[in-house]
Structures are given as structure tokens and as C-alpha cells.
Chains A and B, each alone.
Chain A
Amino acid sequence: MAKEMLTGNRAAAWGVRLAEVDYIPAYPITPQTEIIETIAKWISDGEMDAGFVTMDSEHSMITAAGAASATGARTFTTTSSQGLMYGFEMLYTVAGWRVPLVMVNVSRGLSAPITLGPDHNDILALRDTGFLQIHCETCQEVLDSVLMAYRLAEDKRVLLPVMVNMDGFFLSFTREAVEVPDVEAVRCFLPEYQPEHAFFRAGQPMAQGVAVLGGEFYSYFKYQMHLASQNALEVYREVSDDFERIFGRKYGTIDEYMMEDAEYVLVMTNSFSTLGKAAVKRAREKGIKAGLLRPRFLRPFPDSDIRNALKGKKAVAVIDQNISVGKGGIIYSEMAGCLYNEENRPLLLSFIGGLGGKNISQEEFDLIFDKMIRTVDTKVVEPLHLLYTENEWKGITKLKDIAGRQ
């Protein structure tokens, strides 16, 4: 095991290399490009033995990746934002093929306006496709999650593709000390892929992705996918235990920070939850019993783990780095659905911040805790709050003036 300073992108590439992937179709997009460039160089230098092909679009790339997976090759691909959207049609298809493709998405806000900054509208648009989703906070977690993703995807109780997500810039280009496991240890954890379900062979004609006539069959196949996704929660426990046994790092379906005696809980995902954890620490210093819950899985949604973690809490503030226009925060809705039938459920507040990578400042976190405490007193939950600081607002007004728009 070696410690190296790696960006999130290079950590992802290391995960792919250690998984001894057979095939990688690729297409560039910022901030993901470093992943495919790293892999391309390794292959060119003979350090990695995999097929690599540059495709004509993400739509083609995801198709080729899914089809290779359906032929029995361990396959990886990666994209971000607009690329993910361009291949969106095929995400449903690949999930419907029930193949264990692993993809990394490096989150970036969706156009228009076009931007490079991260938020999660890209990856969250996927949540009904059938892909499992693992969201990462650190570079180490990115590498580890890629390895766990293959174990999960290839398990015959699951056989669904997995998306590993990280924030553009904040994680993709941040260097952290990352433990790079030995390949032998990885082989113990993740043996060679032996397809049993989906593969094309001369001796075994098989039709995949065939048409169905009638809703009964369509429903049957979709229910099967749902049940498989639910199975993944149980299978993941085994995967995670094995991972801890071999590598000593433990990852649950959720990450809990100072949750034991917490009364006021932030819910955040991905790398911005590091900011949230700092805010929790500060709040604790002020005597507020604060905690943070970070769902690592968003599909399957770890309902029961979340319910358990939030039992007896007074208030929960969901900070969504996404916006479902006309509705509000996506994870807020998911949490509300998860908690609705609980007795003594905590009050649930909704905040949206960090769209397109906008910072969430200390004063905003303070405001969130204030609001939580006040709401517990008044029992009146205010509607969704869009986070903006005064200074940010002044900056916007200034640019609007320059542009001659009021």
C-alpha cells in the first residue's frame, strides 16, 4: 500500500486501473478529462492492459460501454454534466440490459447558463434510470468506491450499473493524500469478472434488450430492476465489510458526523459536506448539539439507515446543491418521503445552496442553525430558502448594472 497525493480524478483512474478493467470507451469533457487522459497514458506506457477507444459522443460512448459489458468485459467509462445528459437515453437502456458497467460522473452545473462549477442536477437527473449512485466526499473515497462499485454491480443479486459521483473542481482537481492499495489485495476483494448472466457467445445465442408487448411484461422487468436495486443495500453490507477487513476503511450507505447526541442535523452530500462538517464543529463550540448526515448512496435510497440515524432528532436542514425548478430541493423531497410515516419525525427544513459551485459561507451555516432552533420553538416551518449572502447579491447587482439590465 502506498500513499500518494492524488486529485479526485487521478484517484478515480487508480480505481479503474486496480480493478483491472478490460475496456474503456472515452469522450472528453471538463472537469472529467483528467481521468481518461491518465488512463490513456497508462495504457500507452504499457502500465495498464485494457482496450481504450475514443468515441464520437457520450451517446455512443455509453452505448459502447454497455454493449461491451453485455459481452462480458469489465468496462469503465466516465463523463460529466452535458455529456451525461447527451447520453441520458442510453443510461436507461444500459440499466435495462442489467449489465455491471461502472461509470464515474464528475458533477458540473447544467447549461444554460453554461458553467464549469459543480452542482448535482446532472447526477440527480439519473435517479430513476436504474443506475446505483454512490456520492463521494474525498479523493480516497472516490478510489475505494470505484472498487466497491464493481463488486456491487457484478453481484448476481444486483446486476445493475453503478455511477460513482464526485464534485467537479472541489474534488476532481483537489490533491489529497490517498492510499493506493496493492493490486494483490484488490484481487482478493474484487476477483476477475466471470459473467453468468449477460454475454454474447457463438455457442449460446441470446437476445438482449428485446421488445415487449404489453405492460405486464414491461412492469415485470421494471419491478425486477427495483428489487435488484433494493438487494444492493444488503449486498453492499457484505461488500463494505469485506472492504473494511481487507483495507481497514469503513464506508456505510450513509456517513454520520457527530450524530450520536445531535439534535440539529445538516443533510448534505459530496464534497460540500466537508464545509458542513466544519460548520457542525463550530456550532458545537457554541453549545449547539449539531451533527451531519451524508447519504453516500442516493440509489438505492438508504431509507432505513436514514430513519435510524434521525430517530429522536429535533430538526433536520437539508442543503440541496441542486434545484428541481418549480419544486425545490431534490434531496429534501427524498428525505420528506423517507420520514413521512415516522412517528416523532424531526422538523424538516429546506435550503438550496452551492449551485454551480457557489460557496456556502460560515454566515449561511449560522443562519441555517438559527432557523432550525427557531423552528423547533415555533413549530412553523418556513418554505424553501435560497442561500445568498449580501455581498454576493451586491456583486450580481453590479454586473447587472454593467450589462445595462435592471
Chain B
Amino acid sequence: MDSENIRSIKELPPEENMQPGTAACAGCGGLLTLRYCLKALGENIVIVNAAGCFTLLTIYPFSPFRNSWLYTAMACAPAGAQGVRDALDILIKKGKLDPEENLKVVVLAGDGSAYDMALSSTSGAIYRNLDFYYICYDNEAYGNTGFQHSGASPFGSRTGTTPPGEKVPVGSQLQKKNLFDIWNSHKPPYLATVSPAYPVDLMNKFKKAEQFKGPKLFISHIPCPPGWGFDPSQSVKLAKLSVETGLWPLKESIHGEVEHTFVPKKFKPVEEYLQAQERFSHLFKPERQEDALKSIQEMVDEYWRKNTLLP
């Protein structure tokens, strides 16, 4: 990729580094994200994967990738990346490996892994300034095991382990962890949120990240048709809504300094996004849970107010 910014979707690189025909669900927003990421990263990479839906992208003896792949486990893909990166560097330094055979090292993990179990190994890798890319596809639950609550599940959402009931009508009572801020407190050279509905923004962020040595981190908010409960054809629309309602701010941080890369001209009401998904349906029927809905909207408003992008 050249260093010029991409301006429109027509300028996305035509090369596909991930082939069609995977075991992911129809309309998976994560798969779409990954497709764009791989366009940006090119062929010479090794993906180090944590347990999750995407572990099933490679099933012996098939792989949709033109690049290498190492499945580690749920807690430790960043540590696997450390081993691969260090080994490549050492072998090159000792003259045992031609520098042309070098690879970029990429971690691919779901939110359950990233927000919960792998937080320690991720923090360790960022702290050690490991030169790698980290892609977290955030479907806001443990997807592969059938959509249970994770540290990324939003307040008011229904998951397998936060079912709304008579005593707890709201579903999840906890607020989504702020992984962006957790990661940002490590002051990595590059950190960004992305969305599969904004491929130009995504691509330009990868281009920008390329210039930094050290951790380059990406969190993508990804619609998950079976988990969120919507028709696969609506995936991109939902991804767009999460940005347009202000729920998923598109931003980046360079050495800890945050900037928003896209601010909606006019914020759509959060309800528009919530109503489009089965996992929030209990907030609307049999009766509207006004307090919950209000607090979700307030949480979003508060964020933008704090960032002085709202009056």
C-alpha cells in the first residue's frame, strides 16, 4: 500500500487475502472486518489466534488464508505473538533467516479473550512494546460457545448467561468494560477503534499504524446475526447504526493521545440501534423499560459531552 490516504471505497486494494467459503455465519461483521484488515496487512503475515469463532476459519486441512496461522488458546495469543516475533528477530539477527522471509505478526481474538481471559497476556505484550498487530473483533459476548456474557457485553443486553427474567428484567446489569481506555493507559504507539461499515476509515488506520514499531491495536465493533438476533442482510446497516448513534466512537490514539476520526453530524437516537436487535427486545416489550433505555442514551451522551463534541 502506498502512503497516500484512501478517499473512497473504490480505492480499496483489490487483492483478497482471505478466500470465501469459511465456517463463519452469514453476515458475520467480524469476517468482513478481517477481510479488510487482511487487505491492509498483505500476504506476509502470521495470524496468532485465540479460541473463538474464528478458530474455525482453519479446519484441517483447509485454510481460507494466503498467510500463516497459529492457534494458541484463549488466554495467550499475545504471548504466542511474542514467541513468534522474538524468534523471527533473533533468527534474522543471527543470520539464520533471510530478512526477506520476515513476517508481520498479528493477533486475532474475540472480545471474551481480549476483555477477559487474555487481558494479562495482552497487557504484558503491550508493556513489552511487542511489535505486532492486535485485532479484536468485538461481538459483545462469547460467540463461539453460544453467546454468553463477556466483559464486553453492554448494559441491558440479553446473553445466554444474562437472560432477562422477572427478577432481573434488564438482562446484563453491568456496563461494558472500556478496553480502549485500558489499552490506552499503556500508551501504545497506535490504537484504534474500527467498524466493518467504515472500510475507508479502517484501511487508513492500518496505513497509519504501519509506520509505528510496537503494538498496533484495533478493536472492531462487529454485528453478530445469531447472537444479536437480526437478519444477516442487515449486518452493515447495524454496524453503521452503532457508529451513527454514537455508541461506537471511531477514534485512534497515538502514544496515548486520542482523536476521533469520525463524528456523526447528527446523532441518531440509540433506540434505533437497540430496536433492530433481538438481544434488546425485552427493553421494549412487554413494556418499555424507560429507566434502562434512558440510562443507555445518557451513557452515550455523557461520552460525547466529555469529549466536548456535544453541547
Contact = CB atoms under 8 A, between A and B. Distances in A.
Interface of A: 22-23, 25, 49-51, 53, 55-57, 59-61, 63-73, 75, 89-90, 93, 97, 192, 200-213, 217
Interface string B79-112: 1111110111111001011001111000000000
**Interface SS, B side:** mixed
Interface of chain A, main secondary structure? mixed
B123 A56 contact: yes
Contacts of B69: 206-208, 210
B90 A207 contact: no
Contacts of A217: 60
Contact of B81 (A57, A67, A72, A207): A67
B82 A201 contact: no
Contacts of B43: 202, 205
Contacts of A202: 43-44, 100-103
Interface stretch (B70-78, B227-235, B260-268): B70-78
A89 B71 CA distance: 13
20 contacts: A50-B90, A55-B124, A56-B124, A57-B120, A63-B73, A67-B83, A67-B84, A69-B83, A71-B83, A71-B88, A72-B87, A72-B97, A202-B101, A203-B101, A204-B68, A206-B68, A206-B69, A207-B63, A208-B68, A211-B71
A154 to B, nearest CB: 14
B79 A55 contact: yes
A205 B88 contact: no
A394 to B, nearest CB: 45
B88 A63 contact: no
Given A60-B121, A71-B84, A207 B68 contact: yes
B65 A205 contact: yes
Contacts of B194: none
A184 to B, nearest CB: 19
B176 interface: no
Contacts of A210: 58-61, 63, 69, 71
A57 B73 CA distance: 14
A59 B124 contact: no
A68 B86 contact: yes
Contact of A63 (B60, B79, B87, B100): B79
Contact of B79 (A22, A67, A70): A67
Contacts of A70: 70, 83-84
B66 interface: yes
Nearest to A209: B71
A200 B46 contact: yes
A393 B121 CA distance: 45
A67 B72 contact: yes
Interface string B32-69: 00000000000110101000000110111101011111
Nearest to A221: B60
Given A89-B75, A200-B70, A200-B88, 15 more contacts: A23-B86, A51-B86, A60-B76, A63-B80, A66-B80, A67-B80, A70-B70, A71-B91, A201-B101, A201-B103, A202-B43, A203-B101, A207-B63, A208-B70, A217-B60
B80 A73 contact: no
